[in-house]
Amino acid sequence: MKLDTVAGKKVLITGAAMGLGKLFAARAVREGAAAVVLWDINDAALRETAAELIAAGGTVRTYAVDISDGDAVASAAASVRVDVGDIDVLVNNAGIVRGNTYFWETEDRDDIDKTMAINSLAPMYVTLEFLPAMVAGTTEARVLTISSSAGLVHNPRMSVYAASKWAALGWSDSVRIELEQAGHGHVKVTTVCPTYINTGMFEGAKGFWLTPILDQHKVVDQSWTEMKKGTPVVILPWTSRLNKALSGVLPIKLRDLFLNTVGVYHSMDDFSGRK
């Protein structure tokens, strides 16, 4: 079933202080959400974003949360249930990327731990806090998880990030099927797999064959629209779908040759990340 609007719904967004998260929050406010709950580790930026959204007419609650810490997630979720109530729309947006080195050049294991914790485990922990109430309810509910096209193909200089996004995609789409199998059709799960987006997170990364750096506003608009429709998986842009399809049918050597030739395998060569 399609959800026409989030008006009157309670929406929670992780990584909400900036980038895609801030845009998702603004979208929820514009549609008249009953409450927009913002989670982010950056308390100062979180408060600035909340002030803007409140000035725009939104009912906003903020929580400074380190979602890499499962106990912190549980504590914050308990506070949300007391302060706001059950969540109708959950946007798992928070994510990080570290370095552009080859895997064996990793100097700090904390980079591995943080990447897997925030990109893979956190969406599971956060969703587990709010999904049971969605399932028990009878109204339309949604879970939107931002994965990555790095979860569809292999890519040098981002092996840990790719691993985290493969995990996020595999988990998210499996939960979608579980809900369908159990007959909970009022709860829909959408997983979005975009290529590089101009939020600054992937500063220095290069677009490749027919695949420019994506505009964050367009990504949010399409993700939001497809989430309300209940679309299972959204892959942006079309060339990323093509790369995935070819990766599934070509022999490995030809696949590697193709992805190397079109520039995928060198897209992280000059990555610097957000300053």
| DSSP secondary structure letters along 57-101 | T--EEEEE--TTSHHHHHHHHHHHHHHT---SEEEE--------S
Do 74 and 98 meet the contact criterion of CB atoms below 8 Å apart?
no
Active site residue 161: yes
Closest CA to 168 of 226, 219, 94: 94
Closest CA to 148 of 201, 76, 70: 201
What does the alpha-carbon distance between residue 274 and residue 98 come to, in Å, rounded to a whole number?
A: 10
Closest CA to 130 of 143, 116, 121: 143
The catalytically annotated residue of 63, 125, 161, 265 is 161
Residue type for position 166: W
Sole residue written with tokens 């549980």: 74
Residues that are catalytic: 161
